[in-house]
Structure formats: C-alpha cells, structure tokens
Amino acid sequence: MDAPALTPATESLTLFDVEAESGDAGRAATDRALGHWPSPVYFGELLFESHFGHLPPGAIIVEPSAGEGNLLSIIPDRYHAVGVELSPQLAAQAAQRTGRRIIVGDFRNVELGLRPDAVFGNPPFRTELVDAFLSRSHALLPAGGIVGFILPVYMIGNAARVRDFNLRWSIEQELIPRELFGKVTTPLAFVRFVKDGMRRLVGFASFLEAADVLHNVDRRFRRIMERGGRRGPWREVVVEALRILGGEAPLARIYALIESRGLAVTRFWREKIRQVCGELATRGVLVRLTAGTFALYPQEIV
C-alpha cells in the first residue's frame, strides 16, 4: 500500500506554543507534522474508566492514532485493544510498550481486519482529519458503538457542525483541563459519540434550535428573532409575516415564508408562532378567520 500523505498540521501549530523539551528540534518538528501530542496516562485512565469501563470483557477497542501508546497502555487486559498509527517509529514504540497489535497506516482507510465495538483516542487536532476519523468509525462500529475523543472545543462549538454530527450520533461532551497538554491555548473537551440512533445531545445548550434559526430562517425574520421587540420576538415576526402576506394567511403560509431552504431539525419557532397567533387572537390583536388562519386589523397593515 502507498504511504499515506500527511496533511499539513496547520491547526495543531496554532494551538500550541511549542517548545521541544528534549531539545531535539528534529523530533519536535516531526511531532508537530504528525500532530503528535501524547495524552497524560493517568488522565486517559480516568476517561477510560468513566466512559468505557462498562464495556463487556472481550470488547474490541481501537485506538486510531496511537502515538507511542499512552492511551492504549491503559486499556485493561480484559479488552481486545488494537492501535493504529501513521508513524512506523511511534507504532514500534507503542507495540513494544503495550504488547498490543499496532497497525501501521492511516486510520481513515487502513485495512483493520476487525470490527471494533469502541474507538478511543486523541486524534491530531485537524478538523478534516477528525471528521474523517468519525466517518470511518461510524462505518466500522456496530449499532450502539462508541467513539471517545479528546478534541478542541472549537470543533464542537459550531451549531451547524453539531447538527450534522448529530444526524448520525448521540453526542455528549465535557470540558477537560487544557494544561494537560502543557501550553495548549484552546479549551479541550472529551467528546463521546454514540451510534445509537437516538440523536441525544448532552452538554450542548439549544444547538439545534440555534442551527435552525441561523441557517434555516429567512434573513429578515432571523434579524427580528435576534433583535426581539418590546413584546418579545414572536409577535414582531407574526405581524411582519402577515404584512408581507397581504394582511391574512394560514399558519402554513407564515411558516413557509419564514423558513429558508436547508436542513432544519427542530423548527421550534413554528410552535412559538402558533402560540403567539392564538394569544393575539384571544386578546383581539389579530382576527382568527378559521382555526389556523389569522388576519391583521386593517390599521396594522402599513
């Protein structure tokens, strides 16, 4: 098989104020190119115990970017643990140190010859690589399979990215101390992706709702939702929509006007609009023409 090309580690370089503690500049440069930042063993053990300790004996666990084997070394003997590592030198170190099998290659496409139940690692902090690691893991894992990665928070801080990940995974995240890795300059998290079809999100406040507004609501209405008004955003949204629609409209037309094209998940704003239309009709601010059709009073249509 051809040696896989290394992707430039530009993001890794910006995350760390690098000092070659060994004084070996060549080794430090190679580490940076590979995105090689070993995890503290004691901390990896704590993560493993709380997130993977429930797996039954004999479960197959893959460490997809094993480095010199820090995380692999703490996987208990009751599990079948296998490492993957791009660098043959690091792979040899990891094999010698852990006694585990290390597959030399690129986790994105290397032939594993096994079906893991879980994937546990600290991949290089490069967005496209982490995305590819997750895709490969999803293809390899059975239903219920788990991925646990140490990641920079910026990789899970974007509402649309989380929405997209969440289409295939339940996700939960927790902060971990950034000084675990010396002079790291970005917040870090341990992120657990579970292929359970449940699409749960833990530790992500209203990400799906925000993704819907930011990416699937017409810009005019997004501005109103963001800015609000004296009586909150929803009344403003309804009045503006009814004005645009000529003074009266069924809810379905109001929804269609507000929604822009794209992937919407919650459409939580529909319920807000339905509620506010009902309230405004009860208070005589709107006219309810039929069960789901509302009209402005003529003086409101300006």
Instruction: State the residues that interact with ligand SAM by CB under 6 A.
Output: 34-39, 63-67, 70-71, 84-87, 90, 106-108, 121-124
Alpha helices in the chain (DSSP H): 10-15, 25-34, 41-52, 88-98, 127-140, 159-166, 207-216, 219-227, 233-244, 251-258, 268-282
- List the helix and strand counts (H, then E) for the chain: 11, 11
Query: CA nearest 126: which of 144, 152, 147, 145?
Result: 152
Closer to ligand SAM at the Cβ: 89 or 206? 89
236 contact partners, CB below 8 Å, separation of at least 6: 224, 228, 229
Please state the closest distance from residue 121 (CB atom) to ligand SAM, in A.
5
Beta strand pairing call for 188-194 and 170-176: antiparallel
Work out how close the CB of 66 gets to ligand SAM at its nearest, in angstroms, rounded to a whole number.
5
| Closer by beta carbon to ligand SAM, 144 or else 187 | 187
Which residue, 125 or 294, is less far from ligand SAM as judged by CB?
A: 125
Adjacent-strand bridge partners of 60: 80
CB-based closest residue to ligand SAM: 67
Nearer to ligand SAM, 63 or 117 (CB): 63
For the bound state, the minimum distance from the C-beta of residue 169 to ligand SAM, rounded and expressed in Å, comes to 20
Report in angstroms the alpha-carbon separations of 292 from 170, 277, 278: 35, 9, 9
- The nearest distance, CB 107 to ligand SAM, in angstroms, is 4
Q: Given the complex with ligand SAM, which of 55 and 66 has the nearer CB atom?
A: 66
Helix axes 207-216, 268-282, angle to 10 degrees: 80
Closer to ligand SAM by Cβ: residue 152 or 233: 152
Q: Do 172 and 148 form a contact (C-beta atoms < 8 A)?
A: no
Q: How far is the CB of 26 from ligand SAM (least distance, A)?
A: 15
Calpha distance 167→257 (Å, rounded):
26
Instruction: In angstroms, give the least distance from the CB of 67 to ligand SAM.
Output: 3
